[in-house]
Amino acid sequence: SARKEQYKNAQWLARHSGAIVVDQEKLTSSTLLFEIEKIWQRHKNIKKQAEAFAPEVPRDGADKLVAHIESLL
C-alpha cells in the first residue's frame, strides 16, 4: 500500500515478538528457511508469548471503522 500499513503492522508485531519481518527484496529461499528453522526452535516459547500478549491486541477495529464512517455521514 502507499502508506505501508501492512509493513507497519508487521513491524508492530515484530516489536512485540509476534512476527519476524524480512524485506521482500532480501528474501531468498535460504533466508526463508533460516527464519522458519529459527521460529521452529522457539515455537513453544513463541506460543506462550502469544498467549500472554493476546489481551493487548485491539479487537475493536471493525467497530471503530464503522463509527468513523458513521461520523462522516
Q: Over 70: is that where the pLDDT of 1 sits?
A: no
Residue 54: which residues within 8 A CB-CB, separation 6 or more? Answer: none
pLDDT (average), residues 20-47 = 89
Q: Which long-range contacts does 48-52 make (Cβ < 8 Å, 24+ apart)?
A: 49/17, 49/18, 50/18
Element (H, E) at 56: none
Instruction: Kindly report whether the global pTM for this prediction surpasses the value 0.75.
Output: no
| pLDDT number for residue 65 | 92
Q: Which residue has the cell 462522516?
A: 72
Cell digits of residue 69: 464512517
